[in-house]
Amino acid sequence: MSDVDVEEVRAVVRWLRSEIGVPFAVVGGSAILPEVPVGTKEVDILVSGPDLEKVDRRMEDRADAPPVEPATGTIRGTEVAIGGSSIQVDFLSGSAFGGPEFIGYVLGPGSKAFAGVRRARPAVVFYMRLALDEWRENVPSIERDLRVGIPESTLDGAVAVARRFGRGAKVAYRVAEVRRLLADLDPRRQ
Protein backbone atom coordinates (compact mmCIF):
# COMPACT_ATOMS: atom_id res chain seq x y z
CA MET A 1 0.00 0.00 0.00
CA SER A 2 1.40 3.39 -0.96
CA ASP A 3 1.44 6.53 1.16
CA VAL A 4 -1.63 8.74 1.19
CA ASP A 5 -1.10 12.30 -0.05
CA VAL A 6 -2.91 15.49 0.94
CA GLU A 7 -5.15 15.42 -2.15
CA GLU A 8 -6.27 11.88 -1.30
CA VAL A 9 -7.07 13.00 2.26
CA ARG A 10 -9.14 15.85 0.81
CA ALA A 11 -10.93 13.41 -1.52
CA VAL A 12 -11.76 11.11 1.40
CA VAL A 13 -13.04 14.09 3.42
CA ARG A 14 -15.31 15.18 0.55
CA TRP A 15 -16.58 11.61 0.15
CA LEU A 16 -17.23 11.24 3.88
CA ARG A 17 -18.99 14.61 4.14
CA SER A 18 -21.46 13.48 1.51
CA GLU A 19 -21.79 9.86 2.64
CA ILE A 20 -21.66 9.37 6.41
CA GLY A 21 -23.71 12.26 7.73
CA VAL A 22 -22.05 12.52 11.15
CA PRO A 23 -19.59 15.03 12.61
CA PHE A 24 -15.98 13.89 12.25
CA ALA A 25 -12.39 15.07 12.36
CA VAL A 26 -9.28 13.88 10.56
CA VAL A 27 -6.75 12.50 13.06
CA GLY A 28 -3.52 10.48 13.01
CA GLY A 29 -0.84 10.94 10.40
CA SER A 30 -3.39 12.17 7.90
CA ALA A 31 -4.07 15.17 10.20
CA ILE A 32 -0.35 15.97 10.37
CA LEU A 33 0.25 15.41 6.65
CA PRO A 34 -0.74 18.96 5.56
CA GLU A 35 2.06 20.32 7.81
CA VAL A 36 4.86 17.82 7.15
CA PRO A 37 5.29 14.79 4.83
CA VAL A 38 4.68 12.01 7.37
CA GLY A 39 4.17 9.11 4.97
CA THR A 40 0.93 7.72 6.41
CA LYS A 41 -0.77 4.71 4.84
CA GLU A 42 -4.38 5.50 5.78
CA VAL A 43 -6.82 8.28 6.58
CA ASP A 44 -7.88 8.19 10.24
CA ILE A 45 -11.28 9.61 11.12
CA LEU A 46 -12.51 10.37 14.65
CA VAL A 47 -16.23 10.01 15.38
CA SER A 48 -18.23 9.66 18.57
CA GLY A 49 -19.01 6.17 19.89
CA PRO A 50 -22.70 6.33 18.92
CA ASP A 51 -21.79 7.79 15.51
CA LEU A 52 -19.50 4.82 14.87
CA GLU A 53 -22.63 2.67 14.74
CA LYS A 54 -24.15 5.10 12.21
CA VAL A 55 -20.97 4.81 10.11
CA ASP A 56 -21.36 1.02 10.20
CA ARG A 57 -24.93 1.26 8.90
CA ARG A 58 -24.02 3.79 6.19
CA MET A 59 -21.20 1.56 4.92
CA GLU A 60 -23.38 -1.53 4.54
CA ASP A 61 -23.92 -2.66 0.94
CA ARG A 62 -21.82 0.09 -0.63
CA ALA A 63 -20.11 -0.57 -3.95
CA ASP A 64 -17.39 2.03 -3.32
CA ALA A 65 -16.45 0.78 0.19
CA PRO A 66 -16.87 -2.61 1.81
CA PRO A 67 -18.45 -2.79 5.28
CA VAL A 68 -16.19 -1.59 8.06
CA GLU A 69 -14.24 -4.24 9.97
CA PRO A 70 -14.25 -5.46 12.64
CA ALA A 71 -17.93 -5.10 13.44
CA THR A 72 -17.22 -4.31 17.12
CA GLY A 73 -14.69 -2.36 19.16
CA THR A 74 -13.49 1.24 19.02
CA ILE A 75 -11.79 1.17 15.61
CA ARG A 76 -13.14 0.08 12.24
CA GLY A 77 -11.51 0.06 8.83
CA THR A 78 -12.54 -0.01 5.20
CA GLU A 79 -11.08 0.76 1.79
CA VAL A 80 -12.72 3.49 -0.23
CA ALA A 81 -12.53 3.58 -4.02
CA ILE A 82 -12.12 7.22 -5.03
CA GLY A 83 -10.90 8.47 -8.39
CA GLY A 84 -9.22 5.22 -9.36
CA SER A 85 -7.45 4.87 -6.00
CA SER A 86 -8.23 2.53 -3.15
CA ILE A 87 -7.65 4.37 0.13
CA GLN A 88 -7.65 2.78 3.57
CA VAL A 89 -9.95 4.66 5.97
CA ASP A 90 -9.99 3.89 9.69
CA PHE A 91 -12.78 5.16 11.93
CA LEU A 92 -11.84 5.67 15.59
CA SER A 93 -14.34 6.11 18.40
CA GLY A 94 -13.77 9.06 20.70
CA SER A 95 -14.80 6.87 23.65
CA ALA A 96 -11.23 5.55 23.92
CA PHE A 97 -9.83 9.07 24.41
CA GLY A 98 -12.27 10.92 26.67
CA GLY A 99 -15.74 10.42 25.20
CA PRO A 100 -18.05 13.27 24.19
CA GLU A 101 -15.86 15.89 25.86
CA PHE A 102 -12.90 14.75 23.77
CA ILE A 103 -14.96 14.84 20.56
CA GLY A 104 -16.08 18.39 21.43
CA TYR A 105 -12.49 19.41 22.08
CA VAL A 106 -11.22 17.95 18.80
CA LEU A 107 -14.06 19.48 16.81
CA GLY A 108 -13.22 22.83 18.43
CA PRO A 109 -9.91 24.15 19.80
CA GLY A 110 -8.06 20.84 19.40
CA SER A 111 -8.15 21.10 15.61
CA LYS A 112 -7.75 23.33 12.58
CA ALA A 113 -10.02 23.79 9.57
CA PHE A 114 -9.23 21.49 6.65
CA ALA A 115 -11.24 20.82 3.48
CA GLY A 116 -14.52 21.72 5.16
CA VAL A 117 -13.94 19.66 8.31
CA ARG A 118 -11.51 19.70 11.23
CA ARG A 119 -8.08 18.09 11.45
CA ALA A 120 -6.56 17.41 14.84
CA ARG A 121 -3.57 19.44 15.96
CA PRO A 122 -0.33 17.43 16.31
CA ALA A 123 -0.50 17.49 20.15
CA VAL A 124 -3.96 15.87 19.96
CA VAL A 125 -2.63 13.23 17.55
CA PHE A 126 0.27 12.45 19.90
CA TYR A 127 -2.13 12.30 22.87
CA MET A 128 -4.33 9.80 21.01
CA ARG A 129 -1.33 7.63 20.19
CA LEU A 130 -0.09 7.68 23.78
CA ALA A 131 -3.48 7.27 25.50
CA LEU A 132 -4.08 3.79 24.10
CA ASP A 133 -3.05 0.62 25.92
CA GLU A 134 -1.05 -0.30 22.80
CA TRP A 135 0.81 3.03 22.89
CA ARG A 136 4.21 1.41 22.29
CA GLU A 137 3.05 0.38 18.82
CA ASN A 138 2.67 4.10 18.04
CA VAL A 139 6.20 5.14 19.02
CA PRO A 140 7.55 4.62 15.46
CA SER A 141 4.87 7.01 14.14
CA ILE A 142 5.79 9.61 16.75
CA GLU A 143 9.49 9.20 15.93
CA ARG A 144 8.74 9.58 12.21
CA ASP A 145 6.67 12.72 12.78
CA LEU A 146 9.42 14.30 14.88
CA ARG A 147 12.07 13.35 12.33
CA VAL A 148 10.20 15.05 9.46
CA GLY A 149 9.53 18.30 11.27
CA ILE A 150 6.93 18.16 14.03
CA PRO A 151 8.54 19.94 17.03
CA GLU A 152 9.49 17.79 20.03
CA SER A 153 7.50 20.21 22.20
CA THR A 154 4.43 18.49 20.72
CA LEU A 155 5.07 15.73 23.27
CA ASP A 156 4.55 18.31 26.05
CA GLY A 157 1.40 19.41 24.25
CA ALA A 158 0.15 15.82 24.34
CA VAL A 159 0.56 15.83 28.13
CA ALA A 160 -1.43 19.08 28.34
CA VAL A 161 -4.23 17.50 26.29
CA ALA A 162 -4.11 14.40 28.50
CA ARG A 163 -4.55 16.54 31.62
CA ARG A 164 -7.82 17.90 30.18
CA PHE A 165 -9.16 14.35 30.12
CA GLY A 166 -7.78 13.07 33.43
CA ARG A 167 -4.92 11.12 31.91
CA GLY A 168 -2.03 13.50 32.53
CA ALA A 169 0.08 11.25 34.78
CA LYS A 170 -0.23 8.24 32.48
CA VAL A 171 0.63 10.17 29.33
CA ALA A 172 3.45 12.11 31.06
CA TYR A 173 5.03 8.78 32.02
CA ARG A 174 4.67 7.54 28.44
CA VAL A 175 6.15 10.76 27.03
CA ALA A 176 9.18 10.25 29.29
CA GLU A 177 9.48 6.69 27.96
CA VAL A 178 9.22 7.95 24.36
CA ARG A 179 11.96 10.49 25.02
CA ARG A 180 14.20 7.74 26.46
CA LEU A 181 13.54 5.51 23.46
CA LEU A 182 14.27 8.37 21.06
CA ALA A 183 17.49 9.20 22.92
CA ASP A 184 18.57 5.56 22.54
CA LEU A 185 17.92 5.80 18.79
CA ASP A 186 19.66 9.16 18.44
CA PRO A 187 22.22 10.06 21.14
CA ARG A 188 22.16 13.71 19.98
CA ARG A 189 18.69 13.98 21.59
CA GLN A 190 20.11 13.46 25.10
3 or 119, which is more confident? 119
pLDDT score of 90 more than 60:
yes
66 or 53, which is more confident? 53
Q: What is the distance between the alpha carbons of residues 30 and 120, in angstroms, rounded to a whole number? A: 9
pLDDT attached to residue 68: 64
Q: What is the distance between the alpha carbons of residues 141 and 29, in angstroms, rounded to a whole number? A: 8
As assigned by CATH, the class of the 1-120 domain is alpha beta
Helix, strand, coil percent content, the chain, rounded in steps of 5: 50, 20, 30
CA 87 from chain centre, in angstroms, equals: 15
Q: Which of 49, 34, 54 is nearest to 125 (CA)?
A: 34
What residue type is 13 in one-letter code? V
CA 185 from chain centre, in angstroms, equals: 24
* Per-residue model confidence as pLDDT tens digits over 113-165: 998 889 999 999 999 999 999 999 999 999 999 999 999 999 999 999 999 99
pLDDT score of 62 more than 80:
no
What residue type is 90 in one-letter code? D
pLDDT attached to residue 61: 65
- Please report, rounded to a whole number, the percentage of residues in the chain having pLDDT higher than 90: 53
CB 89 within 8 A of CB 77: yes
Q: What are phi and psi of 130, to 5 degrees?
A: -90, -15
108 or 189, which is more confident? 108
pLDDT attached to residue 45: 93
Q: What is the DSSP letter of 24?
A: -
Domains of the chain by residue range? 1-120, 122-190
pLDDT score of 16 more than 90:
no
